Amino acid sequence: MATLEIKDLHVSVVSEEAPKEILKGVDLTIRAGETHAIMGPNGSGKSTLSYAIAGHPKYQVTSGSVLLDGEDVLEMSVDERARAGLFLAMQYPVEVPGVSMSNFLRTAATAVRGEAPNLRHWVKEVKGAMADLDIDPAFAERSVNEGFSGGEKKRHEILQLGLLKPKIAILDETDSGLDVDALRVVSEGVNRYKASGEAGVMLITHYTRILKYISPDFVHVFANGRIVESGGPELADQLEEQGYVKYTGKQEAANIG
Amino acid sequence: MAVKTEDQQHGLTAHSHGAGAPVSSRADHFTSFDVDAFEVPGGREEIWRFTPMKRLAGLHAGAAATGAATVEVTAAEGVSVQTAARGDQRLGVAGTPGDRVAAQAWSSFTEATVVTLPKDTKVGPTTVTVTGPGEGKVAYGHLQIRAEQFAEAVVVVDHRGSGAYADNVEFVVADGAHLTVVAIQDWADDAVHVSAHHAKLGRDATFRHTVVTLGGDLVRITPVVTYAGRGGDAELLGLYFADAGQHLEHRPFIDHAVSNCRSNVVYKGALQGEDAHTVWIGDVLIRAAAEGTETFELNRNLVLTDGARADSVPNLEIETGEIEGAGHASATGRFDDEQLFYLQARGIPEEQARRLVVRGFFHEILLKISVPEVRERLEAAIEAELEAVGA
């Protein structure tokens, strides 16, 4: 069973000026079968946590460790992390003009699985996965994310999640910009992935509404670069009512959107 | 992480709009069949200022032919292939040389090759293979492709080999004809090629012209399109890939002097290695009579390594407001790290991810090459270019 251990993680953002510390000692352990919601106000460093774990070059880990099943993730390149079983569903998926979705998916699956999937089974698998997410089959021949709406991009992130079946999935504000129908479809996709019981999920969100579809086992409040409170699902209810003011001193609601 | 606008995401920078010194109108551009009517260019002239004159092997300064290029034609059934002397009335009808090298080629070729595509007929692909005169030698040539009325044909002009070669290539596209041309410059490392393409489109003619430039020390192609009747439709596509030390220059010019014609120009280039240099000068002139014109031109360059330089200058001159539309765009950018990160975050190794992105960049051009063998060969050539530097 997979375990992701984040210990005392400090991360700075690399910029033209002096590096700025965003994460100030994050401790979190996610085990297979668990869903952890990371909730926090804008600018608290939630996305930085996700990008640092995935290995984005803009973020520099200054101290601490990230281990996946005891292996040092921080020593791995971005693609090695993905092949080791980490997946980041991005808040802003990147457009790659001229690379078709079908080519991209097959290349990624080949890399992650270590061998090219049998073509006949693969076509069926992709078709089924697209149908589950209400994605028009025509998208397979379109360039990766190019000209997709926000909702279409998010569906395709979850499509990749389902096909690549990572050990640990980090979903970075997957709910942002989704209307009610899309939120339901995307959440169902995440729940199908979770259904194996072998997947660990880190669900990063500003708002509580996605938690009505995806039930968390743990809820963590993220503020000023670290986890400031942890609890069960009831903590989300508390945030729903009181917002983040208790943690930030500012009025910022968690229940709208 | 911040949201980026699309242009930033692709690492693009905007082109300048020629602020500064006034540029003379393209309408005043001098043309002549007489080489002596042109002064020997020194390199400061507007049309030569990007070209490294020292590497031209004297093509601009009266170098005599010391060899000959070999021209072989694999013609589809029904296509006629002839040779013609300079005095042949058919020659020179598609356009007049616009620089000294083209005029030199006109004055210096020994025999022209004329390929005629029969009227009212659709024929299979015809390939013209031009092999350079050999290392250290100079040659001049002339090729004319004639698509008769309502002909429908594909012609591949494939340049290979060594030496210095200057030529004029004419495309005479008769009324209602559909002519698709793929001109490939796949020269050896020493080769110098300066080529003027002249296309004249008849009424309702369709001309699709793709230039692919991969090999050669210095390659300079100047495609000029003119319209003889209304309803002409020209699409000029280009793909180039410059390695260390290569100079690849493309100067398309669309002269809209007739109403209700259309043109679309899309050139894409990649550069890698020290002193790889590409130049793209895209001129479009919409003359006062050319009402109802629709035109767009685009150049994009992808700089893969340090030390490479892409110059890109789109020029659009409009002498009438009564047009359907006109636009231009040019952008040169570095490799997009965000695309790389996204692909790698899905397990795809960096090297493979880079190749995917570059292949994707050229995809829109390659997709339009209708001859599968040519498309596959070019895809393989691009792969080989990428492997050469381990990109």
Question: What distances in angstroms separate CA B112 from CA A243, B107, B168, one per listed residue?
Answer: 82, 12, 10
pLDDT band, very low/low/confident/very high, at B382 (cuts 50, 70, 90): confident
> A3-13 and A20-31 as β-strands: parallel, antiparallel, unpaired?
antiparallel
List pLDDT tens digits, range A62-78.
Answer: 999 999 999 999 999 99
CB of A98 closer than 8 Å to CB of B359: yes
Half-sphere exposure of A103 (CA within 13 A, CB side): 18
Q: Domain A3-92+166-248 belongs to what architecture?
A: 3-Layer(aba) Sandwich (3.40)
A85-A91-A92-A96 Cα dihedral, nearest 10 degrees: 20
B380-B381-B386-B389 Cα dihedral, nearest 10 degrees: 130
The whole-angstrom separation of Cα A198 and Cα A168 is 9
- CB-nearest to A94 from B9, B363, B364 is B9
Assess B30–A contact: CB distance below 8 Å, yes or no. Answer: no
List pLDDT tens digits, range A153-185.
Answer: 999 999 999 999 999 999 999 999 899 999 999
Burial readout B304-341 (b: 16 or more C-beta within 10 A, e: otherwise): bbeebbbbbbbbbebeeeebeebebbbbbbebbebbbb
List pLDDT tens digits, range B275-327.
Answer: 999 999 999 999 999 999 999 999 999 999 899 999 999 999 999 999 999 99
Helix H, strand E, coil C: the string for B14-59 is ECCCCCCCCCCCHHHCCCCCCHHHCCCCCCCCCCCCCCCHHHHCCC
- φ/ψ (deg, to 5) at B177: -80, 155
Is A51's CB within 8 Å of B363's CB?
no
Helix (H) or strand (E) holding B61: none
- CB-nearest to B346 from A77, A98, A160 is A160
pLDDT band, very low/low/confident/very high, at B391 (cuts 50, 70, 90): very low
pLDDT band, very low/low/confident/very high, at B94 (cuts 50, 70, 90): very high
Residue A145 has pLDDT above 60, yes or no: yes
Q: CA nearest B231: which of B206, B196, B198?
A: B206
pLDDT band, very low/low/confident/very high, at A151 (cuts 50, 70, 90): very high
List the alpha helices (DSSP H) in chain A: 46-54, 78-84, 101-113, 119-132, 150-164, 180-194, 234-242, 245-248
Burial of A113 (0-12, 13-18, 19+ CB in 10 A): middle
Q: Is the pTM of this model over 0.95?
A: no
Average pLDDT over residues B205-226: 97
The whole-angstrom separation of Cα B348 and Cα A110 is 8
Question: What distances in angstroms separate CA A187 from CA A56, A154, A200, A211, A222, one per listed residue?
Answer: 26, 11, 15, 9, 22
Question: What distances in angstroms separate CA A206 from CA A9, A43, A130, A209, one per listed residue?
Answer: 21, 10, 27, 9
Percent of chain B with pLDDT over 90: 84
Residue B11 has pLDDT above 60, yes or no: no
CB of B138 closer than 8 Å to CB of B131: no
The whole-angstrom separation of Cα A68 and Cα A83 is 12
Helix H, strand E, coil C: the string for B89-120 is CCCCCCCCCCCHHHHHHHHHCCCEEEEEECCC
- The alpha carbon of residue A54 is apart from the nearest alpha carbon of chain B, in Å, by 7
Question: What rounded mean pLDDT belongs to chain B?
Answer: 92
CB of B20 closer than 8 Å to CB of B344: no
The token duo for A114 is 């270590």
pLDDT band, very low/low/confident/very high, at B3 (cuts 50, 70, 90): very low
Residues of chain A positioned with their CB less than 8 A from the CB of B357: 96, 99
Assess B187–A contact: CB distance below 8 Å, yes or no. Answer: no
Average pLDDT over residues B158-181: 98
Helix (H) or strand (E) holding B324: none
Look at the block and give the residue holding tokens 């360059």.
Answer: B301
Assess B19–A contact: CB distance below 8 Å, yes or no. Answer: no
The whole-angstrom separation of Cα A48 and Cα B153 is 56
Is B341's CB within 8 Å of A104's CB?
no
Contacts of B241 (CB under 8 A, 6+ apart): B213, B214, B269, B270, B271, B272, B381, B382, B385
Is B359's CB within 8 Å of A93's CB?
no
CB of B354 closer than 8 Å to CB of B386: yes
- φ/ψ (deg, to 5) at A74: -65, -20
Q: What is the largest CA-CA distance in chain B?
A: 68
List pLDDT tens digits, range A8-56.
Answer: 999 999 888 788 999 999 999 999 999 999 999 988 999 999 999 999 9
Best of A77, A78, A204 to disrupt the B interface by mutation (most B CBs within 10 Å)?
A: A78
Residue B111 has pLDDT above 70, yes or no: yes
Is B356's CB within 8 Å of A104's CB?
yes
Domain range annotation of chain A: 3-92+166-248
The whole-angstrom separation of Cα A187 and Cα A73 is 27
Assess A148–B contact: CB distance below 8 Å, yes or no. Answer: no
The whole-angstrom separation of Cα A64 and Cα A43 is 21
Residues of chain A positioned with their CB less than 8 A from the CB of B4: 92
Residue B6 has pLDDT above 70, yes or no: no
- CB-nearest to A108 from B339, B347, B361 is B347
Q: How high is the ipTM of this complex? A: 0.95
